[in-house]
Amino acid sequence: MKYSNPALFRAHSALGICLAVAAMASPAHAAGVAAGTMIENTATATYGSGPATTTIQSNTVTVKVDELLDVAVAGLTNTTVTAGATNVVLAYSITNTGNGSEAFELTADPAVAGNDYTVTVQQLVVDTNDNGIYEPGVDLVLPAGSATPAIAADSSLRIFVIVDLPAGVTDGQSSQVRLTAAAATGTGAPGTTFSGQGEGGGDAVVGASGASASDLDTLLATLASVTLAKAASIADPFGGTQPVPGAVVTYTLTATVSGSGQAQDLRITDAIPSGTAYEAGTLKLDGTSLTDASDSDAGTASTSGIAVELGTVAGGTTKVVTFNVKIN
Amino acid sequence: MKSNWMAALASAALLALSPTMATAQTAQPIELKGDVKVSKLVVENGKERQVLSEPKVVVPGDRLIFSTSYRNNGSETVRNFIVTNPIPNGVMLAPEGAEAHSVSVDGGKTWGKLASLSVSNGDGATRPAVAGDVTHVRWVLPEVAPGAEGKVTYNAIVR
C-alpha cells in the first residue's frame, strides 16, 4: 500500500491591508501675517486746548512682511502588511507652517537605519480629493524630482507613497520609509534669506524648521506559513496492527498555521491510496463528522479522495482531518 | 532754521485721524517724525546685546521698535502735547513693557494702563485686556518748551 501525498492548497495569504490612518496630525500653528502684507504706521500729535488745539501727523513708515519658509511633516501610517505585498500605500501629511503659498520638493527614502528589509518606492501621489483613500486615476502622480502643487500658508496636503515589499521578508520584520519635504524656494539655516523670492514680492526667509522636515511611516510584515503532517494507524481484523486485507487505516492530517498573519482559503485534500477503499462517513474535522456529499459543510469524500475547506485560518491554529480506508 | 523735516511733514500721511487740521501748517512749530527699526538680540562674548537695524527683511515673530521724535522749533511753550500711535495692522504691542504705556483697546475712545482695561469676549462677558488687544498707544506731555525735543517709542511683534 502506498501512502499518497496529501495536498495543501492555499490562496495568496493576503492579510487585508488596512490603511491604519492615525487621527490626522493637527497642522502646526502657522506663522502669522501673510507674506506681502504692508505694515504702516503714522503718528498723530495734538497740542494746545479748546479752540486753539492743533493736530499734526508724522510721516508714514512702511514695512513689508517677507515670506517665512517653514514646513512640518507627519507620518500617518503604522500598519501590518503581508510579506510579499505590492502597491502598499503609505500616507503622510505635509503642512505649510510658513506665511506664504509655497510648493515643496518631496523625497521618499526607504533605506532607514534599523530596517529589517527595504521596500521599493514605486510612486509619490498627491491625495487630490483629500479623502484619505489612494485612488489611481483620480489622485495626482508626482513625477520623480517634481514638487507638490503650491500649498497655501497654514494648509496641508496628504501624500501617498506607494511601495512594494521585497522577496524573502519573514514574519515580524519591520521597515520604515522617510518622507522629506523641502520648500521649493530654498532651505538652509534659519534666517537664510532668498532676495526677492518671497510671496508678495519681498524676500523669503528660512524659518525655524530650516524649511525642511520629514517623518516616518512603519510597516510590520506578517507571514503565515502552513505545514502539513500525515500519520496513519492500523487496526487489523484480528485486534492487531498488521496491514493485511480487511485492516482499517485511519489517516490523520494535521495542518499547522504559524506566524502572525492568516492563511486564507486553506484547503486539505488527500487521495485514497490504491489498494484501499474509503470507508464512507468517516471524514472528520477536529473530531466532528463531515458528510461525504458535497453540501454546505466543509468536507467532501468519494472513492477517489477527500477534500476539506478550512477557509481563513489564523496563525497559531492547528486543524486536524481524519478519515478511514480499508485495505482491499 | 528750517530742517528738511518740514518737507517730510508737508508730504505727510494718508491717514487723517482727526479732521481738525491746523490751517497755517507752515507756521506751526512742532516737528513730528516717525521711524521703525528691527530689534534683534545678538550674543557677543557670552553677553546679549540689543541691535537695532533698518527693517529690510521682516517676518512674523520679528520685533520692531516704532519711534516718534518731536521738536518744538517755535518760541512759545507748547502745552498738553499728546502723541498717539495706532498699532498697525499686522503687529501687536509687545507684552514686555506694555504695562507701562497709556493704551487704548477700543480704537482710541478710552485710555488707561493695560491692567485697568478689559475687552468683551464675544458672548457678553468681559475679560482683562492683554497686549494683543491694544489698538493705540499714546504719550501725554504737559508741555514742550521752545527748542526742546524728545522721542517716544513702543515695542511691537510682527504677528
In chain A, the domains with their CATH numbers are: 6-30+66-222 (2.60.40.10), 225-327 (2.60.40.2260)
Judged against a pLDDT cut of 80, whether residue A113 lies above it is answered with: yes
DSSP assignment letter at A37: P
pLDDT at A8: 59
The residue among B57, B76, B91, B140 with the most chain A CBs within 10 A of its CB, best to mutate, is: B57
Q: What value does the mean pLDDT take over residues B103-127?
A: 92
Q: Distance between terminal CA atoms of chain B?
A: 41
pLDDT at B20: 44
Tell me if chain A has a CB within 8 Å of the CB of B88: yes
Q: Put residue B10 in one of left, alpha, beta given phi > 0 → left and psi -120 to 50 → alpha.
A: alpha
Residue listed under C-alpha cell 469676549: B121
Q: Name the band, by pLDDT with cuts 50, 70 and 90, for residue B47.
A: confident
- Mapped onto helix, strand or coil, the DSSP state of residue A165 is coil
pLDDT at A17: 32
The C-alpha atoms of residue A26 and residue A228 are separated, in whole angstroms, by 50
CA distance, residue A64 to nearest chain B CA (Å): 7
pLDDT digits (tens, 9 = 90+) for A50-75: 788 899 999 999 999 999 999 999 99
ipTM (interface predicted TM): 0.77
The C-alpha atoms of residue B127 and residue B117 are separated, in whole angstroms, by 9
Greater pLDDT, B123 or A216: A216
Cβ count near B8 (within 10 Å): 15
Residue listed under C-alpha cell 530689534: B39
Q: Name the band, by pLDDT with cuts 50, 70 and 90, for residue A10.
A: low
pLDDT at A55: 92
Shortest CA distance to A102 belongs to which of A20, A13, A165, A30? A30
- Residue A45 to residue B68, Cβ atoms within 8 A: yes
Within 8 A of A41 by CB-CB distance, chain B residues are 34, 36, 66, 85-86, 88
Rg (chain B; Cα; Å): 18
pLDDT at A5: 59
Residue type, B155: N
Lowest mean pLDDT among A151-165, A277-291, B22-36: B22-36
Q: Which of B20, B36, B59 sits opposite A205 (nearest CB)?
A: B59
Q: What percent of chain A has pLDDT over 90?
A: 73
pLDDT at A263: 85
Judged against a pLDDT cut of 90, whether residue A256 lies above it is answered with: yes
pLDDT digits (tens, 9 = 90+) for A131-147: 999 999 899 999 888 89
Judged against a pLDDT cut of 90, whether residue A159 lies above it is answered with: yes
Q: What value does the mean pLDDT take over residues A252-257?
A: 94
Return the sign of the alpha-carbon dihedral for residues A189, A190, A192, A197: positive
Tell me if chain A has a CB within 8 Å of the CB of B30: yes
Q: Name the band, by pLDDT with cuts 50, 70 and 90, for residue A4.
A: low
Name A69's bridge partners: A206
The C-alpha atoms of residue A62 and residue A322 are separated, in whole angstroms, by 90
pLDDT digits (tens, 9 = 90+) for A171-228: 889 999 999 999 999 999 998 999 989 888 889 999 999 999 999 999 999 888 889 9
Judged against a pLDDT cut of 90, whether residue A279 lies above it is answered with: yes
Within 8 A of B144 by CB-CB distance, chain A residues are 47
Residue listed under C-alpha cell 518606492: A121
The C-alpha atoms of residue B87 and residue B67 are separated, in whole angstroms, by 12
CA distance, residue B155 to nearest chain A CA (Å): 13
Q: What value does the mean pLDDT take over residues A91-114?
A: 96
Judged against a pLDDT cut of 70, whether residue A88 lies above it is answered with: yes
CA angle A212, A218, A221 (to 5 degrees): 155
The C-alpha atoms of residue A190 and residue A71 are separated, in whole angstroms, by 12
Q: What value does the mean pLDDT take over residues A83-95?
A: 94
pLDDT at B24: 45
Q: What value does the mean pLDDT take over residues A232-257?
A: 94
Judged against a pLDDT cut of 70, whether residue B92 lies above it is answered with: yes
Tell me if chain A has a CB within 8 Å of the CB of B64: yes
- pLDDT, chain A, mean: 88
